[in-house]
Structure 1
Amino acid sequence: MYRLRIYTALVTEEPELTGIDLARRALEEARAAARASGKAVGQGRASPVRRRPIARGRRGWSGAGPDDRDPQLLGSLTAGLARSRGWSPKVAEGTVFGRWPAVVGADIADHAEPVQLRDGVLHIAAESTAWATQLRLLQGQILAKIVAAVGPGVITAVRITGPAAPSWRKGERHIKGRGPRDTYG
């Protein structure tokens, strides 16, 4: 008789539920508990719902259309925060310096980098005099790419410089002049 009880306990033991079966079981148990308490499931709420006061110009409930209470994208929230606090010029400056290869392209970014932004003028340092000359010819296109990336009014002009030549002035005494006649870059 003892063995029979163990065998029936093993046979009647249910397999472990996962996924949708577990959810169905939980729903059935909740419905049974609601019926036992004397209230049918889906027949109103247990306590009255307190509604928030409706602000002027705002609908009562979100509904099918978009609403400012709906989840928002992080980028739009940060852009709104920067705009409301007056940080937009600094964010645009950070965009130019932080995303330089994406703003101007990989070829230009490999041979030039932004150095500073002062009073709407972006200073760019090229790696050689040849690249500085080429970038001066493309200056209008570079400015158009930057304006497309950060918006109008942030950067109004671009100043492109080549590499700086080494100083030949050594010590306190020196003779005025250009120094050795050589090209650098």
Structure 2
Amino acid sequence: MHGSASPGWLLVALCTATGAYCLLRMRSSVEEQRRAAGGEALMGFGMAAMAVPAAVFTPPQWAWPAYAAVFGTAALRALWTARTSPHHLHHLVGAVAMVYMAVVMAATPGHHGGSGVPLLTGVLLLYFTGYVLLSGARLIPMTAGGGTVGWGDRPEVARACRLSMGIAMVAMLLTL
């Protein structure tokens, strides 16, 4: 996204770390964890790529339609899987937000944001702000269940990753 270099690099680092952790979560023995982690890894790495400061690297014009195609496909997959898991509705909203940002960036090469549809940007900001607040409240420590849980299956770490991606989405939408 177009914005200041320091926050951009912080978003790149945050989203890359989140994406990497989500890749590790794909090794979980819990099928739902693996399924959700794949979409979250794609989102984390996609957000990292979009957050690289424009002063450092300006993607070629074909990159934005490619982002839109990748996240459009992810949105269709999330829509399909949302039939059985309501969490995938959030993945759907996230993928649609990524498509929206890619379309806006494709339409305004070299500009520094401000060209999105204000109502849609506002709705997405409202959704992700609410998501961040709710996710933050859910980070309250949980009591330990009976057995030992592998670090890749710890729900509070997965929630922290989702929270960080929500915060990154709010930051990216603010620069739009």
Report the TM-score range of the alignment, normalised by the length of the smaller protein.
under 0.3
TM-score, normalised on structure 2? 0.24
Q: Which has the higher contact order (CA 8 A, sep 6+)?
A: 2
* The structure with more radius of gyration: 1
Bigger proportion of residues as helix = 2
TM-score, normalised on structure 1? 0.23
Bigger proportion of residues as strand = 1
